[in-house]
Amino acid sequence: MFLPISSEDMIVRGWDKPDFVIVTGDAYVDHPSFGTAIISRVLEAEGYRVCIIAQPDWKNTDDFKRFGRPRLGFLINSGNVDSMVAHYTAAKKPRSTDYYSPGGKAGLRPDRAVIVYCNRVREAYGDVAIIIGGIEVSTRRFTHYDYWSDRVRRSILIDSGADLISYGMGENSLRRIAFLLDKGVPVKKLRDIRGTCFMTTDKNDIHYDFVETGSYDKLKTDKKSFAEAFALQYENQDPIYGKALIEDYGGKYVVQNPPMLPLTRKELDAVYSLPYERNWHPVYAKDGGVPAIDEVKFSITHCRGCFGACNFCSIAFHQGRMVTSRSIKSVKEEAEIIAAMPDFKGYIHDIGGPTANFRHPSCEKQKEAGVCKNRRCLFPTPCPNLNTDHSEYIKLLEEVEKVEGVKKVFIRSGIRFDYMMCDKNEKFFRRLVDKHVSGQLKVAPEHICDSVLIQMGKPGRDVYDKFMSKFYRITKETGKEQYLVPYLMSSHPGSSLNEAIELALYLKINNINPEQVQDFYPTPGTASTCMYYTGTDPFTGIEVYVAKTYGEKQAQRALLQFYRKENYPLIRKTLLSAGRGDLIGYGNGCLVPPAGTVKAYRDNNKAQKTDKTDKSVIKKLKSYKKYNGTKRK
C-alpha cells in the first residue's frame, strides 16, 4: 500500500494526524531508487505515521496544509536530483522535460526547491520542526559556488530557514532524529547527531573536535580561501576520523557534525526488504506515469559509496568513499520479487550502484582506519593495498541468474574499467563480455589527454587503451559483435581547445562517433566545480585552465562531434583560431572538409593529390592505432 498523499488516504488508515510529512520535488514513486521512498519506509518501519506531499503547488501555503500540522515535523527534499540541474542544461537553457515528473512534464517544481518549500512551511506553521535532506541539500550544506547565479551562496541551512540538515544517506540519522523528537526533545536541542548540520551562536554546543573552515564574508570574495575550505571539507567526510566543521556567519555558526557511519550489510539488507510498491502512485496513470521509473524498475542496487572519487562527481560528498554492499541473499530475494511482477520480461536491466563492480571496501585498513587522507584508491595509480577481487560479485550475478523467470542479467551502471584492469584474474572480464553486455557497454574514460584526466581524478589514457584492446580481444574470442560506448566530457577544467582537438583526433582514428557528449556541469559539492570557480586545484593549489565563455564551450563540444555536418563551420573557425588549419581538408589526418566543393578545393591544390596535412599529425594519429585492427563502432 502506498503511503497517504491526501487527507482521505490518512483517514482511511484511521489517523488523525501524521507524525511526519515528507515534501519532495519529485512525483511520488515508491521504489528503492528514490530517496523519498526509502526514508518514508524506514520511518514507517519504526512505527511512525508518514504522509507524502509530492510536487506541491508552491505559489501559496494551501498544498502544504494538506494533512495539518504534523506531530513531529516536516522532512523536505528537492527530489533525486538538484532542482537547478533538473531545470537547466549545462548551457543554462531550460530543459523541456523532467523525468521525475508525471508524463515528463517540466516546471512542476520550483528553482531551488528546498528553499521555496521551507519558506511555505514556515508561513503555514511557524516554528514547526523542519529537517532538510537529499542531494540538493547535501551538496549545498557549506558555502558553495552556484553556477546558475555565478556567485557564492550561503549554506542552504541558512537560506532555507530549516532547523536541521540530514546529509548523506540519512536512514540512521533520521531514525535518531525521530526518536529524540518523539521523546519530546526540541529540534533546536538536537546537536550531537552524526550526519547532521545545525546552526548555533555558541561553540559550546559542538560535541566533537572541530575545524574552522573560515567566515562566509571571506569565502565569498577570496578564491584561495574558498579552495582551502573545500579541501578541509573533503578531508573530513570520513566517518572514522572526520572532525566536525564550522563556518562563521558573523557570530552565527553552521556546524557539520562528523558523518554517520555507513549502514552495515545487515542494515542495508533491511532497508531494501521494506514493502515498496516498486512503481509510481496510481494517481499518475492519467499522465502516463513517471518516466524515471523506466530505467530502474527492473534494476537492483547492490552497493553504496564509491572509492573512485572522481573530481566531477558529488558521490564522495554525499554517499562517501566507503563502499558497503548488500548480501547475495538480499539481492536474490529482490530479484525474485522483480521476476514475479506481471510486466517483467525476463531481463534484469542492471545490478549496480554508484560503481557497479565495487562490492567491498577498497582495503582491509579502511575498515578500521577510514579512507586514506592523502591519496586515493585508484588515482593517480592504483594503491598496492587495493582489493580487486571480483569473486563475490560474480557469485552474486550467478545466483540472480538462477532465479526462476530471469533470462538475462545486464550491467548498465558504471563499470570502473581501471579497477577491472587491476584484477589479474580475467574471470569477471570474460563473464562481463560474454553474459552481461547487451551489444554495447557504456564506460567513462571522459577524456584521453592526461593533463585533463589528472584534473578529473581519472586514470591515464594508456589504461583505457589497454582496457579497450582487451575488451575487443575477448569479444572476438567469444564470437560476439559488441561495442564500447564511451562517455566523454568537454570543457572540464584543464581542457583547452588544444586538448579538445587532441580528443577529436583520437576519436577519428578509432572510428568513434559519440552520439552523446556531456559538457562539464559545475554543480555544488565537487572538486571540479571548485576548480571552475577558483581556477586552482583545491588539493594542490596549482593553477588550472578553465573554459568559461559560451563560445569556447560550444567549440569544445562541437569538436567531440566533428563528424556532424552542422558542426563544420564552427570547427573550421575553431581550428583556424587555434592555428590548426592543417586539420581542415580531405586527408586521413583532417577533422573536417574545407568550405566549398571538393572540386574548388582540388583546384586550389593542383600541385598535390592530397591536402597539406602536417606529417606530424599523421604520425600522431598512427600512434593511436594499436588495437589489432579489431572492428570498432
Is 164 in a helix, a strand, or coil? strand
What are the respective helix, strand and coil percentages of the chain, to the nearest 5? Answer: 40, 15, 50
Domain edges within the chain: 7-193, 475-633
523-534 pLDDT, tens per residue?
A: 999 999 999 999
**Residue 612 in grid coordinates:** 597539406
pLDDT surpasses 60 at 436: yes
Is 227 in a helix, a strand, or coil? helix
The pTM (predicted TM-score) of the whole model is 0.92
| Pairing mode, strands 164-166 and 151-153 | unpaired
The answer to whether 332 and 409 have CB atoms below 8 angstroms apart is no
| Weakest-pLDDT range from 154-168, 176-190, 312-326 | 312-326
117-133 pLDDT, tens per residue?
A: 999 999 999 999 999 99
CA atoms within 13 A on the CB side of 93: 5
Q: Using CA atoms, how far apart are residues 167 and 258, in angstroms rounded to an integer?
A: 10
351-392 pLDDT, tens per residue?
A: 999 999 999 999 989 888 999 988 899 999 999 999 999 999
Residues ≥6 apart with Cβ < 8 Å to 10: 4, 17, 18, 51, 67
- HEC sequence for 518-573: EECCCCCCCHHHHHHHHCECCCCCCECCCCCCHHHHHHHHHHHCCCCHHHHHHHHH
**Residue 484 in grid coordinates:** 564500447
Nearest to 233 by CA among 266, 207, 211: 211
Q: How much of the chain, in percent, has pLDDT values that exceed 70?
A: 94
55-84 pLDDT, tens per residue?
A: 999 999 999 999 999 999 999 999 999 999
DSSP 429: H
DSSP 175: H
pLDDT surpasses 60 at 620: no
CATH superfamily of 7-193: Cobalamin-binding domain (3.40.50.280)
- Residue 517 confidence (pLDDT): 87
512-522 pLDDT, tens per residue?
A: 998 888 999 99
| Weakest-pLDDT range from 267-281, 388-402, 582-596 | 582-596
